[in-house]
Amino acid sequence: MSIWQRLGEIICSIPGTCTLIDHIVDAVRATFGTASERRHASFSISMIALAAKMAKADGVVTGDEIRAFEQLFEIPDNERKNVARLFNLAKQDIGGFDAYARRIRGLFDDGDPIFEDIVDGLFHIAKADGMVHEDELAFLARVGTEFGMTEAAFQRIADRHIVPEEGDPYAILGIDRSASNDDVKKHYRRIVAQTHPDKLIARGVPAEFIAIATAKLAALNGAYDRIRQERAFA
């Protein structure tokens, strides 16, 4: 039985009204035998629930936001109903988003690049209706705080999503403007390598979630090209 099929069984067993995080933790422990499976399952369910709360942060969940959420997960067709059920339950859940953010943080070491991956995914949902609303940005900043991210690290992610072609390309890449051409090249190659789907999977991101790498790479490539043009180096 695939991990999504077992996740589907957990979701089907969730009561109509409950604090989801408590039910989920117990069910994952009882259902998945290995630490790797539990990590994958806990991440996937927590991320789905957090995405639902992100979509509702501005008070309205739009069709564009639902579609953006679906782009982040390659969910088997026969499990879409179960994922939709969890998404809808999370929107109504009395538990705060901070419980889900802390659950995800507890799965990984402090400073793990996966926290940036998650916030990237949430920004993808937030901007799906054409803009990142003030309440959504505040929500994302608080999630970043729960993940232990610095203000500079969060701003770097925000710059990649909020009109990246007009943002500071050095901030988007996360490198100082005074860096040499060689240092810029080395830094760019390093962060692009970290964003490769194989790297994401290796650090614990489920294979279904790697769609976020495409948009992130596009923003990084755009920023690097602007720096190259500014400095006129090959």
Residue-range domain boundaries for the chain = 3-231
Q: In this model, does residue 149 exceed pLDDT 90?
A: yes
Please compute the mean of the pLDDT values over residues 138-152 and round it to a whole number. 93
Provide the H-helix boundaries in 196-234: 197-202, 212-231
Residues 203-230: what's their mean pLDDT? 80
- HSE-CB for 162 with a 13 A CA cutoff: 17
Give me the percent of the chain exceeding a pLDDT of 70: 91
Q: What is the mean pLDDT of residues 74-96?
A: 78
C-alpha 217/C-alpha 222 separation (Å) is: 8
- Taking only the tens place, the pLDDT of each residue in 61-71 is 777 877 877 77
Contact 126, 184 (CB under 8 A): no
pLDDT of residue 138: 92
Q: pLDDT at residue 53 above 80?
A: yes
pTM for the model stands at 0.78
Q: Read off the pLDDT band of 12 (50, 70, 90).
A: confident
